[in-house]
Amino acid sequence: MEYRLAYLAYAEVNWCPALGTVLANDEVINGVSERGGHPVIKKKMRQWFLRITEYADRLLEGLESVQFSEAMKDMQRNWIGKSQGAEIKFNVAGSLDNIVVYTTRPDTIFGVDFMVLAPEHELVDGITTPEQSQAISDYREYVQSRSERERMAEVKQITGCFTGAYAVNPFDGRKIPIWISEYVLAGYGTGAIMAVPCGDARDFGFAKHFNIPITNIIGDAFNGEEANPTKDAILQNSDFLNGKPMREAMDLVADKIEQLGIGKRQINYKMRDAGFSRQRYWGEPFPIVFRNGVPEAMDFADLPLELPHVENYRPGEEGEGPWRM
């Protein structure tokens, strides 16, 4: 399953118990199904995927040889979304857990004022303090009713909840509050971000909304009224990077995190593997047989497959295939 073009993996999906199926994002409106208006929740389920991300570079290269308009090529490049950056590990204070983030701006490491995890992130339960447990639970329940499209599109709506936990900046030891928010998605990157409000508009809005102090690492390039995503400022309040141009500092920080063993250079893509399962009796791919838990395509000699008699074709309570009533 680590190498197949078609493979099985667990993923967050829009599960509608009443309809007994997974719904696409555009079939969910304000937390309910477009058809019937039934409640839809986020649920981790086993899905089939096509490993198209392995072909990302070939897709980019192929754009140079096809006769598309430049506008269409730019759309494709943005969809693939290739970026170069670094993965960095932040230790959770008082814990053995680490939060791994991917950033295209390692030069801003000293401007990290808080961290944000996707509400579905696997570490949330373990790091949330007892005092914040109920607030986190209530917030996650709210997020479950929101489609991925709504969470990404409504940029003016600022919501989030503090976990009560702190991460430690691996360069200066500063403790950084860990929040969860719907604007971070579990399926993108590592499901966690390091927030630099002086240089990112969404982080800036979040910090202002929740009264989180903002560190200025870009001097006069930051006016305190809005974020400035510049790559051309001279760094300040940045320890060994003070006085360095930001573009030069990117490689310096990437080198340092590899020397310290707390991260690595990384190439990421916005494009994700294509998921295409539906929890229905005629769901694809078909026909597949499981032998010792491993899915295998049936032999041609065994086709066509004669389907067994099932009294009820609806899926089970947890979304598994048809079961006998």
User: How many residues make up the chain in this entry?
Assistant: 325
Q: Residue 264: which of 103, 26, 48, 43 has the closest Cα?
A: 103
What pLDDT, on the 0 to 100 scale, is given for residue 45?
Answer: 83
What pLDDT, on the 0 to 100 scale, is given for residue 325?
Answer: 39
What pLDDT, on the 0 to 100 scale, is given for residue 284?
Answer: 57
The reply to whether the predicted model has a pTM over 0.85 is no
Residue carrying structure tokens 């058809």? 35
Residue 290: enclosing H or E segment and its boundaries? Answer: strand 288-291
Side by side, the strands of the sheet bearing 41-50 are: 21-23, 6-16, 41-50, 274-275
Say how many CA atoms lie within 13 Å of 288 toward its Cβ: 17
What pLDDT, on the 0 to 100 scale, is given for residue 286?
Answer: 66
Question: Going residue by residue through the chain (325 aa), what tens digit of pLDDT does each one get?
Answer: 778 888 888 888 888 888 888 888 888 888 889 999 999 888 888 888 899 999 999 999 999 999 999 999 999 999 999 999 999 999 999 999 999 999 999 999 999 999 999 999 999 999 999 999 999 999 998 888 777 777 777 777 899 999 999 999 999 999 999 999 999 988 778 899 999 999 999 999 999 999 999 999 999 999 999 999 999 999 999 999 999 999 999 999 999 999 999 999 999 998 988 887 655 555 555 678 888 888 888 888 988 877 777 777 777 777 766 654 3
The sign of the CA dihedral 278, 281, 283, 287 is positive
Distance CA 125, CA 110 (A): 27
In 12-91, which residue ranges form alpha helices assigned H by DSSP?
Answer: 56-62, 70-80
What pLDDT, on the 0 to 100 scale, is given for residue 311?
Answer: 77
- Phi/psi of residue 299, nearest 5 degrees: -70, 145
* Cβ(118)–Cβ(151) below 8 Å: no
* Cβ(120)–Cβ(191) below 8 Å: yes
